[in-house]
Amino acid sequence: MDAKKITPLVAQYKAIKEQYPDVILMFRLGDFYEMFGDDAVTASRELEIVLTSRSQGYAADVPMCGVPYHAVDKYVAKLISRGYRVAICDQLEDPKKAKKIVKRGVTRVVTPGTVLEDGMLDAKSNNYLVAVTSEPELYGLAVVDISTGEFAVTEISQKNGSRELLDEISRLAPAEVLLRELDWDLEAPIRANTTAVVTKYECDSFYRKPAKDFLLEHFHTESLRGFGAEQMTAALEAAAMVIDYLRQTNQNALASISSMSTYSTSGFMILDSAARRHLELTQSLSGTTKGASLLSVIDQTKTAMGARLLRKWLDQPLLDVEAINRRLDAVEELYTNVLSRKDVRDQLGGVQDLERLMSRIVAETATPRDLVAFAQSLKKVPSIARSLEGSRSERLHTLREALDYLESIVELIERAIVNDPPAAVRDGGIIAQGYNSELDELRRASIDGKSWVAALETRERERTGIKNLKVSYNTVFGYYIEVTKPNLHLVPDEYIRKQTTTNAERFITPALKEIEAKILHADELAAELEYQLFCEVRSKVAEEARKVGKIARALAEIDVLSSLAEVAALRGYCRPVVNESEEIRIKNGRHPVVEAYLQERFVPNDTYVNCDSDQLLIITGPNMAGKSTYLRQVALITLLAQIGSFVPADEATIGVVDRIFTRVGAHDELASGQSTFMVEMNETANILNNATRRSLIVLDEIGRGTSTYDGLSIAWAVAEEINKISARTLFATHYHHLNELEKELRGVKNYRVTVREEKDRIVWLRKIVPGGTDKSYGIEVARLAGIPQSTIERAREILKELESDRTSRGLVDGRTKIKVREETLQLTLFSLDKHPVIEELENLDITTMSPIEALNKLYELQKKLSKDGLPGR
Amino acid sequence: MQSKSETSDASRIIILDEHTANRIAAGEVVERPVSVVKELVENSLDAGATQITVSIEQGGKELIKVTDNGCGMTREDAILSLQRHATSKIRSASDLKAIRTLGFRGEALPSIASISILEMITKHESQPAGTRLEVEAGSITNLESVGAPQGTTIIVRKLFFNTPARLKFLKSAQTEFSHIAEYVGWFALAWPTVSFRLLHGGREVLSSPATGQRLNSIVEVLGKDIAKQLVEVHYELPGVRVEGFVSCPSLTRINRRDQIFFVNGRPIRNKIIAHALDYAYRGLLPSGRYPVAVLFLEVPPELVDVNVHPAKSEVKFSNEQEVHSAVYRSVNMALTTGAAIPTISEHAEPLGKPAPISSEQADITSKLFVPWPDAATQQHIQPMNLSAFQEALRRRREQALSEISDVGEDSWQKGSGVPVEESPVPEADFIAPRTVALTGVRVIGQARNMYVLAECDDGLLVIDQHVAHERILYDQLLRFDAESRSAIQRLLTPITISLSASESTVVRQRLDMLNQAGFDLEEFGRDTFILRGAPPQLKPSQAEAILRDIIAELVELSVERHLIVRSDQVLITTACKMAIKAGEKLDDREMKQLVEDLLKCENPFVCPHGRPIIVSLSNWELDRKFKRT
């Protein structure tokens, strides 16, 4: 393109665009934000807006499209949700005052992880930005949510490769992840495991300070010891990345990050992403809807802050028995004290999202309505504290102490801002009467002016003798004097005609216009002053960010505790006994999600599992009979107990579990290019490699997705291995041969789902009772499904044959039966591999052998065969 | 529970012999949906259930479903239960004397089955499978095994489908449901160790968990605001034990609706208890006001006759004196010692302290109340002590006014558990005004500058001057026409009225109605209006103030209801603000004019807000009070 022929405007645009190549640049032109070139094509497609083009002198037509400035937020939100990043380029000076072209610059780069605007955020979940760095053996991870001000760092070991890191990232479910060039190999797995946008972090200046210094500067402190992160070099590196990135994209947001905390993933029960998904903790398996997840059932929170905290609790069940019991004590107290609980929840209903409001106040984007909502929310604090007076449980007591009433701010806001302010910030109508004398003066001047105008009517009527002369107002002409046609002859000379209507004429006078100008001027000054005063009030409130954060966190926890109590009362849950024992004992347990959505009553079931005598429960029975539900309910009850909630059962004793493993269902992972069986083996391998004695393992059908004998043998071997690990395990399987294990191994107990056959149908009793199954109901289920009767008959015949085949070889003694089976199995394996003798035979080069050598070889081989009988010994 | 131990017998249900069956007057067991609910819930309770869920559709006319986790029934018992006079609860007539269980006549289930489409799912712990039965008009149409948890579910569909006569007598779905809700609420109060849930059309109306504490059930059923103002009651005499909660004198009601009594867990009406309650509050309440009370009495079964009424809601005590004494003393003690309800706080002020009664007040109130020893009448008679009368009336009116604005929320609040049919007019315990014809009306005078007293052919009338005038003005405003428009009085100087942003919005939305109300108002700059004329009924000096009053109230209404104020609301508010107030002295001419104008109104009995304008005392009633009839 010929540089000489480019207009200054285009040059300005190009210069800015060069700095932001991978980002959609929105360029403010008059009342619109315009996009050019590829940006425009993309935007037009994603936003469904019209694409036009503009010629630039002699240059080729450039595609462009635009959106009106006042609606820009919603368009930006849409682009962000599609994974794009958007740079907003504003006019930096008043167009009226500009000399040549208006100065412009990028004020903001909006990325998924750095949004602050209410319309782009989901109230009930955090919006995390995560940065990842690596060092030998360690990953550093920093996570920030600028809308709430949370900022935390941690380090994760690399001993399991990137698995732990990926688990933690998927737990956080961030909107955006930052990676350096040298860690870019993590990009694919991160994208596979989460819905986050992965952004490459570009270090801005070559001479950027070392991470530690950078952070010290940001937090204005002398040392990082206060944050507990002095030695965590990888974590600090990640933290510095985050701060720098924010500086590049959203300067204002930095102000809301006033402190940093460290955490460790080892303080919580470990749940990998598969477990989270299979247990449907925060999302149902079927889709991304929140319906039919555990969270949807136990979330009765009244505030957005509470909802976010509950989600966090669900993702991080505790391991410390005392901490768990502290929570349970608080929940119990709120459960028995219906009056207090209802009071607290009523009050909480009037509390808005203090965390996000505060962040907007600090970032100077809060509106007058935000401030009023903020004050109204803070006003609820004393009554909430009162409702919790005399709480006996430690947690409630502590939380109550944290409820500070920031009287001075509330009073300031109430004094300064009217009760029902507008949303706009520059149009006045914000500041209350009596707050500022200068403002009051200006308003008085305006009112006085208007009274003068009103009185003008009477005066003019007398003066001119026009009895029905009227002084009126409209937005086009302002004030005017209206005289009906019949009276026009009485109109004095100094009246200047402005407008004619059907029955009247409208006039102005110089005096009238002078007063009107005075009124308008006063109004203008007043509006400006109001804006200034508002900003002052806003900054004053921003100073209390830390205190408000503390209060907000306390309110959030009170909300969560009372929500758990409310759910317990509503759904008939009981308080679990949580201790360090090795058992899980549940009486009449129910699946919390299924029972909520079921039309008929849920059939409860008992559970008893520990680390020795009843360690591996093998549950057999037909499909559709309730095995999966049973398995999941045991896991969910354990999890609920360890977050400090009551559980759906008559009684429950839970010995703390360090990790829940799940291997559930044939969930196809076609998207990641792996077959069902492969995935299953991966997950099983993970379990066998990582389970400890304190883990809880829930296996729903191992050995599907491959041939029956293979599957059975793998299932068998896995069961044996788990028995050695001694982790508490529930293993549902359709291989009822596994029932044999009860006799062979200590700790294995058989259970089955009961069904009853009646006339022509199967009744699912849904009761789990001790004992193995001797019958697989596969054929009956097929019949119910509608397989034609003739096929069913044939199947029954074949089944009879197969079963009699097996039994004829088996003998009375159970032990012998197993042995025979073992042999059969090994024969199968045998047949797959070539026997070593055959292999040797194959490899013999008989052309070079002498007869004697051949005979010797034959003798050797024969000896091999007769001695062993079978290979591998 | 007795029936549980009895079920260890081989045959748990037996057929009563003819003789015994005859001894029991069956009567009409099933009158309406609430009777069905009552019987089914009582069965559940007798089965030892700790969780009972009642689901209703269309007020019970379409569906009544009661689910419990009690002991359930075996397949054989399930079939037997549908036979008449079969019960597990008594064996012979002598057992009647020792009734502790609630249902016993063996009538309920078969009766219900005979007039509905019934489905039963039940499972007993002795059997692995549950049983499902379908019954239509008394005969079993389906019987099969089913997987189910222990307990029983009874589903009653299309009640009275085969008795159209009874079907016609049923009231609206809402009315029928309100009876059910009331009854389930009573159950929840009586059984704090059982959790109750009530749903209507899928929506949860009541949820009372089993915490074992009566107060928690009261919070759920009556609401936490009432619960906060209750004091605990506890007293025992040989032969009767009283427990429960009664309200502080600061909390009163206009009728006895919130007085709920239980005897041995059964909700009942009883005049002895009611009277003893009233007696204990003597001197503490304004006339016409009743306390709230939830009282649980335990009386040995042989001293109570429960068979008095087929619906079992009335009982007769053998030891009336003791019962009366116990109730009176228990309530008296609670009120005088002001025992606080147990709250979380140890240090909080006891809520139950009744306000100390000054000696002067006590003097007045003692003159006010003459306790009536005859338990047959439940009203008190007040002598014409005018100042106390007026004071009581004033308080009563205030209460009535606050209740009217509450009625919208309270009725539908889950906590109150008793959705009431929306009626803006609180029930008066005077004779309904409409029984008095407004003929031959003659003004007698003005009482306390608030009421115009008049006589008519049929009796005496007391007319509230403010609401009467409000009604007159409102009707006038409605009839706005060109004539009225020209009657607007011009202001000497137009007045500029500056408003806030929200006020301006409301005024702009309803400028037309304000004009119709008689205010010549126009926009005059930003958030400013110019007032040129006001309704002729106003004095010009009042115009601005009254207009600002109206605007303030309209803003409040619009905020509350989150929508544009209804046009008639503007007129109502205008009429209200312009009308003569209580406390204004009226001369003879003004009173006459007022009454004349009032009688011309289409509805002279109720003001546009729904409050009563005329209260009447018929000649007959008056004479009766003086014992002339």
Residues of A in contact with B126 (CB under 8 A): none
- Assess whether pLDDT exceeds 90 at residue B428: no
Residue B123 confidence (pLDDT) = 94
- Please name the helix (run of DSSP H) or strand (run of DSSP E) that holds residue A597, with its range, or none: helix A592-597
Name every chain B residue with its beta carbon within 8 A of the beta carbon of A447.
Answer: 496, 498, 528
β-bridge pairing B259-263 and B293-298: parallel
- By mean pLDDT, which of A278-287, A523-532, B79-88, B580-589 is the weakest? B79-88
Q: Which two tokens stand for residue A500?
A: 């004619």
> What is the rounded average pLDDT of the residues B90-108?
53
Predicted pLDDT at B422 = 30
Residue A428: both structure tokens together: 């006045």
Task: Give pLDDT tens digits for A688-708.
Answer: 888 899 999 999 887 766 677
Q: What is the mean pLDDT of residues B102-110?
A: 61
- Backbone phi, psi, residue B447, to 5°: -105, 120
Q: Per-residue pLDDT averaged across B281-308, rounded?
A: 82
| Residue B17, pLDDT score | 54
Distance between B131 CA and the closest CA of chain A, angstroms:
11
Q: Quick check: A208 pLDDT over 50?
A: yes
Rounded to a whole number of angstroms, the distance from the CA of A306 to the nearest CA of chain B is 23
> What are the angstrom distances between the C-alpha of A143 and each of A148, A188, A263, A264?
12, 20, 11, 13
Least confident of A170-184, A484-498, A697-711, B462-476: A697-711
User: A873 and chain B: CB distance < 8 Å anywhere?
Assistant: no
> Residue A728 pLDDT > 60, yes or no?
yes
Does residue A359 contact residue A145 with C-beta atoms inside 8 Å?
no
- Write down the pLDDT at residue B312: 56
**How close A452 gets to chain B, by Cα (Å)?**
9
Which of A625, A549, A655, A637 lies closest to A256 in space, CA to CA?
A549
For the ranges A564-573, B166-175, B205-214, the one whose mean pLDDT is highest? A564-573
Contacts of A754 in chain B (CB under 8 A): 128
pLDDT at B228: 85
Residue A768 is predicted with a pLDDT of 92
Average pLDDT, chain B: 74
Give the model's pLDDT for residue A291.
Answer: 66
Among A28-37, A297-306, A748-757, B502-511, name the one with the lowest average pLDDT: B502-511
Q: How far apart are CA A562 and CA A347, in angstroms?
A: 12
Mean pLDDT of B277-305: 84
Confidence tier at B481 by pLDDT (50, 70, 90): low
* Closest CA–CA distance from residue B418 to any residue of chain A (Å): 19
The pLDDT assigned to B419 comes to 31
The amino acid occupying position B410 is D
Instruction: Give the model confidence (pLDDT) of A63-122 as tens digits.
Output: 888 898 888 888 888 888 888 889 989 888 777 767 777 888 888 888 888 887 777 788
Give the pLDDT mean for A255-278: 84
Among residues of chain B, what percentage have pLDDT more than 90? 14
Q: Is A451 on the interface with B (CB under 8 A)?
A: yes
Which two three-digit tokens encode residue A140?
Answer: 């550093």
Q: What is the pLDDT of residues A349-362, one digit of tens each?
A: 999 999 999 988 98
Average pLDDT over residues A443-468: 85
CB-based contact B525 A572, cutoff 8 Å: no
In terms of pLDDT, which residue wins out, A729 or B286? A729
Judged against a pLDDT cut of 60, whether residue A637 lies above it is answered with: yes
Mean pLDDT value across residues A778-782: 75
- Give the closest of B227, B495, B526 to A339, CB-based: B227
Averaged pLDDT for residues B250-271: 83
Q: Using CA atoms, how far apart are residues B104 and B264, in angstroms rounded to an integer?
A: 15
Q: Which site among B52, B214, B486, B526 would you substitute to test the A interface, given the most A Cβ atoms closer than 10 Å to its Cβ?
A: B526
Q: Which chain A positions have a beta carbon within 8 Å of B215's beta carbon?
A: 338-339
Model pLDDT for residues A322-347, shown as the tens digit of each residue: 999 999 999 999 999 998 999 999 99
Show the tokens assigned to A462: 């007398």
**Strands, sheet with B151-157, edge to edge from the N-terminal-most edge strand:** B139-146, B130-136, B117-123, B151-157, B63-68, B51-57, B195-200, B203-208
Neighbouring C-alpha atoms within 13 Å toward the C-beta of A473: 20
Mean pLDDT, rounded, for A592-602: 89
Q: What is the structure's pLDDT at A852? A: 86
Residue of A nearest to B216 (CA): A338
| Choice among A654-668, B220-234, B293-307 with the minimum mean pLDDT | A654-668
Q: In chain B, what are the domains? A: 18-208 (3.30.565.10), 229-413 (3.30.230.10), 429-616 (3.30.1370.100)
What pLDDT score was predicted for residue A288?
Answer: 54
A766 close to B (CB below 8 A): yes
Closest residue on chain B to A419 (Cα):
B502
State which residue of chain A sits closest to B51, comparing Cα positions. Answer: A572
Among A491-505, B332-346, B456-470, which is the least confidently predicted range? Answer: B332-346
- Segment (H or E) for A275: helix A273-278
Report the predicted TM-score, pTM, of the whole model to 2 decimal places. 0.73
Instruction: List phi, psi (to 5°) of A209.
Output: -70, 160
Query: For residue A56, what pLDDT is reported?
Result: 56
Contact state of B215 with A338 under an 8 Å Cβ cutoff: yes
CA distance A716 to chain B (A): 31
Q: Min CA distance, B272 vs chain A (Å)? A: 32
Given CB atoms, is A523 within the 8 Å cutoff of chain B?
Answer: yes
Chain A hits for B528, CB-CB cut-off 8 Å, are: 447, 450
Taking alpha carbons only, the member of A835, A832, A210, A301 closest to residue A556 is: A301
Least confident of A56-65, B210-219, B370-379: B370-379
Cross-chain Cβ contact A342/B219 below 8 Å: yes
CB A584 within 8 A of CB A572: no
Q: Which residues is A698 bridged to in the sheet?
A: A662, A730
For the CA atoms of chain B, what is the radius of gyration? 30
A745-766 average pLDDT score:
85
Give the integer Cα–Cα distance in Å for A590 and A637.
8
Residues of chain A above pLDDT 70, percent: 90
Q: What angle do CA A653, A658, A664 make, to 5 degrees?
A: 90
The residue assigned the tokens 């002369």 is A469
Query: What pLDDT score was predicted for residue B564?
Result: 56
Chain B CB contacts of A515 below 8 Å: none
Cβ atoms within 10 Å of B545's Cβ, excluding its own: 11
Stretch B163-180: mean pLDDT: 86
Q: How confident is the model at residue B379 (pLDDT cuts 50, 70, 90)?
A: very low
Contact assignment for A756 to B151 by CB distance below 8 Å: no
Please spell the DSSP secondary structure of B293-346, one letter per residue. EEEEEE--GGGEE-TTSTT--B-EES-HHHHHHHHHHHHHHHHHHTPPPP-S-S
Collect all residues of chain B within an 8 Å Cβ-Cβ radius of residue A431: none
Strand B316-317 to B259-263 pairing: unpaired
Q: How far is CA A568 from CA A335, A599, B150, B538, in A?
A: 7, 20, 21, 60
pLDDT tier, A810 (very low <50, low <70, confident <90, very high otherwise): very low
* Residue A760 contacts B, CB cutoff 8 Å: no
